Amino acid sequence: MVAVHFDKTSFEKTLKGDKPVMVDFFAEWCGPCRIAGPVIEELSEEYKDKVVIGKVNVDEEKELAQRYGVMSIPTVIIFKDGKEAERKVGFPGKEGYQKMIEDHL
C-alpha cells in the first residue's frame, strides 16, 4: 500500500475516520523529506490495518500547512480522534516514526 497523498478534502474526511492518522508534511525539493519518503511508504504497508498514513505536499497544499503551523519540513503529525496528538519536526529515523505510531495505537 502506498501512502495516501492528501488534498484538503481527502485530509478532512480522513481525520473523521476511526483510525489514527499520521501525516508527513513534505516538499519534493527537501533533502531530508526525500530520505523520509521511503520510510513513510514502508510504514504505510506495515501499519495499513491500524493507521492511515499519508503525505501532504506543502507546495501544493499551502493552506493545510498553514492551518497546522508547519514551518519546517519534514514535519510528521499524528492525529487521533481528529485532533493533533503528537508532532515531530525533522527526520527521527524509522524507529522514531514507529514509536510515534505505537504510542497512539
Q: Is 19 helix (H, G, I), strand (E, B) or coil?
A: coil
Active site residue 11: no
In this prediction, residue 47 has a pLDDT band, given cuts at 50, 70 and 90, of: very high
What burial letters (b/e) apply to 16-40, b meaning 16+ CB within 10 Å? eeebbbbbbbbeeebeebeebbebb
- Which listed residue (3, 22, 23, 33) is catalytic? 33
- Which listed residue (30, 39, 56, 77) is catalytic? 30
Distance, CA of 16 to CA of 103 (rounded, Å):
20
Any idea where the domains of the chain sit in the sequence? 4-103
pLDDT at 2 over 90: no
The pLDDT tens digits for 55-95 are: 999 999 999 999 999 999 999 999 999 999 999 999 999 99
Active site residue 42: no
CATH topology for the 4-103 domain: Glutaredoxin (3.40.30)
Closest CA to 19 of 76, 81, 99, 70: 81
Question: What pLDDT does 1 receive?
Answer: 55
Q: Name the grid cell of 6.
A: 492528501
Question: What pLDDT does 65 receive?
Answer: 95
